[in-house]
Amino acid sequence: MMSKGTDVRCVGTALYFLPVTTRVPLKFGTETLTSVTCARVCLCVRDRQGRCAAGWGETPLSVQWVWPGALSYEERHRALRLFCTELTGAWAQFTTDGHCLEVGHAFLETRLPEVLKDFNRQRPGREMPWLAALVCCSAFDIALHDAYGMLHHVPVYQTYGPDWMNSDLEAFLSPARDTKVSFAGRYPIDFFRQPPKRRLAAWHLVGGMDPLDAAGENGSKPEDGYPVLLREWIRRDGLYCLKVKLRGNDGAWDYERLVQTGHIAVEEGVLWLTADFNCTVTAPRYVNEILDRLRDKEPRIYGMILYVEQPFPYELDQHNIDVHSVAARKPLFMDESAHDWRMIKRGRELGWTGVALKTCKTQTGALLSLCWAEAHGMGLMVQDLTNPMVAQIPHVLLAAHANTIMGVETNAMQFYPEASRPEEAVHPGLYQRRAGSVDLASISGPGFGYRMQDIKRPLPEPEITTGLFSGI
């Protein structure tokens, strides 16, 4: 790989843990989230001239989503925090130079597998999965991209092209064999929406425990001034896109949940629905029967379903399920399965037609997945990990630059709206949904445009600092 004077390497890191509590519970598959720890990272880079700059990254360590399984919540939670501290040292000691995407890719390909292997060697029978490792790593990787933009005084999305990168996408991606796709001479910027969106349709999450009407309330309604019932949310925020969480193991419940939500949606003027089965389905017939019943008995609701999300277990190598029959009915989007572009390639072979991108799987990985999927004609969506605080900003920026099927999922304001008050004061349009949309107009300046100097959030003492750390 050639080199440029703009290349950087990581020279220091600082890790913070910020706890957040939900106002109402959020069900993920078979588990329920009531609180989350956000990992926030400050990462310093240095260029060849010795100039340094700091960048920021953040992600929720959403235990139930990143690491489903029989281990207790607290054991998994402790392991995620500990792994973040391990990564703090690994990143500070990583000596690869390059553009931020090149450095991030090198870390994901070489160093992260080693750190995870060493970590899991000490945990026989309690091994952390790759998805959890990616999520922990994402805060560091996002901070790397921000730091690169900060050092060069440019929005980082303007740097994903030949003027800044040493290598084209052929160095990172391989096309599917049944296509004429080539990545030679192509860069991420070639696959971005031009110009990027400044307003995005906001998808509201209808959680598995969310009451749809007064009959569904269980007496624990929070008296905090925010809506609880679905109609209240739709009317307050002008929503026209709803994502419906399903069980995936109770066909009757899933069907009725879609029908009940769909009837409210029709009455309230909602335009679009998605059905999220959360990795619990083991046979395409389960999804097909629900979709076919909707088509025959509730055609209006069936027509509103824009896509179906991740019904099947995310370990594609272990669950080699042909899903063409589902995709023949509705676009079928990978979420948890889409660890990286290689898994997307495998998913396409099995019949998946779209990809849900997440910055919590790293900014580097999300960009490469975007490029691979877009080049192969797959649909795109950008989905939330219920991102509060500064985690929201790279998330919505990715959606603004991706050719998503419709807007962006954004639901932190449903589950912990008070958590982002300091950020909301600077970016009100990102933490409020108005007319069914979020507004990115306040994002400006280098890196991800956080405007950290304007955000008045006191931070705890760092959990750990390493290397030549500065810039706080």
Kindly list the structural domains of the chain, giving each domain's residue range(s) and its CATH number in brackets, ordered by start: 8-173+456-467 (3.30.390.10), 188-443 (3.20.20.120)
pLDDT in tens, 428-447: 999 999 999 999 999 999 99
Return the percentage of the chain with pLDDT > 70, whole number.
97
Which among 69, 78, 74, 59 is positioned nearest to 18, based on CA atoms?
A: 59
pLDDT at 302 over 70: yes
pLDDT in tens, 168-218: 999 999 999 999 999 999 999 999 999 999 999 999 999 888 889 877 666
Q: For residues 254 and 299, what is the distance between their CA atoms, to the nearest angstrom? A: 16
Which of 21-35, 58-72, 73-87 bottoms out in mean pLDDT, i.e. has the lowest? Answer: 21-35
Q: For residues 201 and 188, what is the distance between their CA atoms, to the nearest angstrom? A: 23
pTM: 0.96
Average pLDDT over residues 378-384: 97
pLDDT at 68 over 90: no
Average pLDDT over residues 146-175: 98
Query: Which residue is listed with tokens 């805060």?
Result: 139
> In which band, very low, low, confident or very high, does the pLDDT at 24 lie, cut at 50, 70 and 90?
confident
Q: What is the pLDDT of residue 384?
A: 93
Q: For residues 399 and 358, what is the distance between their CA atoms, to the nearest angstrom? A: 9
pLDDT in tens, 250-278: 999 999 999 999 999 999 999 999 999 98
Which among 173, 91, 176, 185 is positioned nearest to 139, based on CA atoms?
A: 91
pLDDT at 336 over 80: yes
Q: For residues 334 and 379, what is the distance between their CA atoms, to the nearest angstrom? A: 10
> In which band, very low, low, confident or very high, does the pLDDT at 472 lie, cut at 50, 70 and 90?
very low
Average pLDDT over residues 106-127: 97
Q: Are 55 and 143 in contact (CB under 8 A)?
A: yes
